[in-house]
Amino acid sequence: MSNLIIDEGNTLCKAAVVSNGAILAQTSGRDIDDAALQDFAAQYGINNIISASTRRERVELPAALHGIKHVRLCAETKLPILIKYSTPGTLGLDRVAAAVGASVLFPQSDVLIVDLGTAITVDFLSRNGEYLGGVISPGPAMRAKALNAFTGKLPLVEVPADARLRGQSTTEALQFGILNGVRFEIDGYINAYRTENQDVKVVVTGGAANAIIRPDVTREPNLVIIGMNRILEFDGGR
């Protein structure tokens, strides 16, 4: 049985085919048009579809995929975890899917979920399968754009792959400040959670996940896809 996963994020749209928990194929781009999605799905016998979008209300499928069981991830979708959030209707679907993905990777464990994308989210899932909330802050590229947009002379810089403590130019000062700021922020959250619970697991995902260089974290670039596939199996793919 093959599941088509469509994750329309703030920056990238990703599609994946998953069968028996294994990702068979993936494609991504700023947008995936109907023809490209249809051609991608046509290579596999798709039995079920799940979609989610952070850009718009819902993902519309090309006509060739109509008639296939389709779960549109939303606040009312049945989940294998319990959401304990004061405003569940405002909770980002990517955060929900990442939390479910964390429950697949680390069943019956406390997990800190760090997603470094357009925004940075740090969320907590308890060993009892309860999503207990988290925090949101600007991602690396957003920080670079803000420093450029809200100052008179600071340039727009690319965020580097690595950073020193001291920049030797304004460009380096911006680059290292952004990257080190992200690293120190995430280090602070991990250390604070581990002060409360030494055994908490940490999983990092998102386009800027490589910014975190700690050896005591798990990197899983497909965390949201894993979570969406689990939700599909739980809610509508049975």
- Asked if 161 and 180 count as a contact pair (C-beta separation under 8 A), the reply is no
- Burial (CB count <10 Å: 0-12, 13-18, 19+), residue 190: buried
Catalytic site includes residue 94: yes
Residue with tokens 């908490």: 200
* Token pair belonging to 46: 């798709």
**How far apart are the C-alpha atoms of 114 and 123, rounded to whole Å?**
7
* Contact of 173 with 167, CB cutoff 8 Å: yes
Catalytic residue among 7, 34, 39, 94: 94
In eight-state DSSP terms, residue 215 is T
Supply the DSSP symbol for 90: G
Helix, strand, coil percentages (3-state) for the chain, rounded to 5, are 35, 25, 40
In angstroms, the CA 63 to CA 154 distance is 48
Distance CA 128, CA 56 (A): 32
The tokens describing 56, both together, are 């718009």
Instruction: Please tell me the number of Cα atoms within 13 Å of 61 on its side-chain side.
Output: 23
Burial zone of 42 (CB within 10 Å; 0-12 exposed, 13-18 middle, 19+ buried): exposed
Q: Which residues are catalytic?
A: 94
